[in-house]
Amino acid sequence: MRALISAFFVLNLFTSNISYAQSVDEQELARQLREGEFVKYPPEYLAELREVIGLFDHPGKSIPYLTCFNHIETNLTKGGIVEEFNAYIDHPQITAKQKSFMRKSVNRLLNITPEEKSGICACNTKDTWDNLMTPGHRTAYNKMAQGIPLTEKDNKALQKKTNVVRPATEYDPMACIFKPMNLYGEYRSIL
């Protein structure tokens, strides 16, 4: 059972990854953010953000959503998550019911639909925005999504780490993954 929960936790980390930089030179943008030198996204990325910005009540939510949406299949298949799920299927401590669920999950993840991707990413975005970001993060993200140059204060806010710890009784990290795929009830039944 621990192996099952570990695999799901790793999957959630990949799908909720908030990688800010995914434009022309991802490494350079990531470096700028890390070093507090970020000013503004390139026009190509701002154009992508404008395509989804209307889905949200705050423009900054479009950044983690688009990052998730663009990278979810790569993270799930090429990142080794599906392979890890498959390895757990053969683990001797996994029950038949858990193995069946894992096989179904792997199949669904390999054949994920745009609607499921959108649901997963929207859920992760809402959770991140509401529970993990500071007000400074949100202000900076709103500016970034609108192409407004960041100030030194905004860059400092982005570098501030949050130390939010939520007990499992308050938050199930797997809900955002399995609810959009209509697998959450089955997931809860195998725990």
Structure confidence at residue 6 as a pLDDT band (50, 70, 90):
very low
Residues 6 or more apart whose Cβ sits within 8 Å of residue 113? none
Residues 6 or more apart whose Cβ sits within 8 Å of residue 78? none
Please check the confidence at residue 84 and state whether its pLDDT lies above 50: yes
Residues 6 or more apart whose Cβ sits within 8 Å of residue 161? none
Residue 151 is encoded by which pair of tokens? Answer: 């100030």
DSSP classification of residue 87: H
Please check the confidence at residue 78 and state whether its pLDDT lies above 70: no
Q: Report yes or no on whether pTM surpasses 0.85.
A: no
Residue 49 is encoded by which pair of tokens? Answer: 């953000």
Asked if residue 12 lies in contact with residue 174, where contact means CB atoms within 8 angstroms, the answer is yes
pLDDT tens-place string over residues 17-64 = 333 334 347 788 888 888 899 999 999 999 999 999 999 999 999 999
Average pLDDT along the chain: 82
Please check the confidence at residue 179 and state whether its pLDDT lies above 60: yes
- How far is Cα 167 from Cα 141, in angstroms, rounded to an integer? 27
End-to-end Cα separation, the chain, in angstroms: 7
